[in-house]
Amino acid sequence: MAKYKCSERTHKKIYNAARELFAERGYDATSLIDIANKAEVSVGTLYRHYPAKQYLLLYAADDALASMRALIDGFSDDMSCYEKILAVMSADMRDCLEVFDSGEPSAEDLGYGLHLEHRSAIYSSPTAFDYAYRNRAAMKALFEDMLEQGVRNGELAGETDIADFADILVAVFFRQYDLALFDPDGDGSLGALERKLSFLFDLLKP
């Protein structure tokens, strides 16, 4: 168990170092040696945790899921499923914008390039695509759990198709994510996210 915890700490340490360097320099300008030096580990250790540089980008989804689960675990029982889902989505978007939308043009450009690289990483190989797909499926499962609570407590109609609604929520989440990061003319604000979720939940009230 101690060895596993140490390995997990190293995994996270490398990821955090890479995230800082990608935000500062951009993906292409950051080498694996740079990341290893920043994380204070050997290049061999880095390779054991991340076989290729794009996997550092894919791990961002793991990091987001872990944060979502931690947030959900801390929710009070009297929160509605709408409030929980809005809080989870808003927190993740806020974390992203804090890193990539500092208000400086150079930071905005780096963030834009980094997320394009993330998309490229997803489609770089069948293994990478499966990895990203499993993460989206895990996010959908989190939404399904909260939606089931909504049906049980009468917040949502009993005939609500939980799986379909969760799929829609995942699509809305990533659409808002894209608007916030890639579309200067679109409304990627947290207020827009709240309006869209409110509209969807109102449609499914009993």
Q: Do 83 and 32 fall within a single domain? A: no
Structure tokens at 64: 């987001």
Note the pLDDT of residue 190.
86
Give the closest residue to 102 by CA, choosing from 115, 111, 92: 111
Residue 38 shares a structural domain with residue 75: no
Q: Are residues 127 and 195 in the same domain?
A: yes
90, 176: one domain: yes
Give the residue, 69 or 64, on which the prediction is more confident: 69
| Nearest to 204, CA basis, from 166, 171, 174 | 166
The reported pLDDT for the residue numbered 200 is: 95
Q: Which two tokens stand for residue 30?
A: 């950051």
In a shared domain, residues 109 and 18: no
Domain at 165, CATH number: 1.10.357.10
pLDDT (mean) for 71-90:
93
Mark whether 1 and 61 lie in a shared domain: no
Q: How far apart are CA 38 and CA 41, in angstroms?
A: 8
Tokens of residue 156, six digits: 């949502």
- Which of the 8 DSSP states describes residue 61? H
pLDDT at site 3? 39
pTM (predicted TM-score): 0.77
Mean pLDDT of 46-50: 87
**pLDDT given for residue 118 in this prediction:** 63
Whether the per-residue pLDDT at 112 is higher than 70: the answer is no
pLDDT value, residue 185: 72
Q: Looking at the structure, do residues 26 and 8 belong to the same domain, yes or no?
A: yes
> Each residue of 5-14: b (16+ CB within 10 Å) or e?
eeeeebbbbb
Rounded Cα–Cα distance for residues 52 and 84 (Å): 35
Say what the pLDDT of residue 122 is. Answer: 66
CB 14 within 8 Å of CB 56: yes
- Domain end: 25, 51, 77, which one? 51
| Banded model confidence at residue 96, pLDDT cuts 50, 70, 90 | low
Q: What is the pLDDT of residue 139?
A: 92
In a shared domain, residues 31 and 126: no
Q: What whole-number distance in Å separates Cα of residue 87 and Cα of residue 70?
A: 12
**pLDDT digit string, tens, across residues 11-26:** 888 988 888 887 777 7
Mean pLDDT of the chain: 81
> pLDDT tens digit string along 138-169?
999 999 999 999 999 999 999 999 999 999 99
Residues 64 and 124 grouped into a single domain: yes
User: Are residues 129 and 94 both part of a single domain?
Assistant: yes
Domain that residue 140 falls in: 53-203
Total number of domains constituting the chain: 2
46 and 65 both lie in a single domain: no
Same domain (yes/no): 32, 74: no
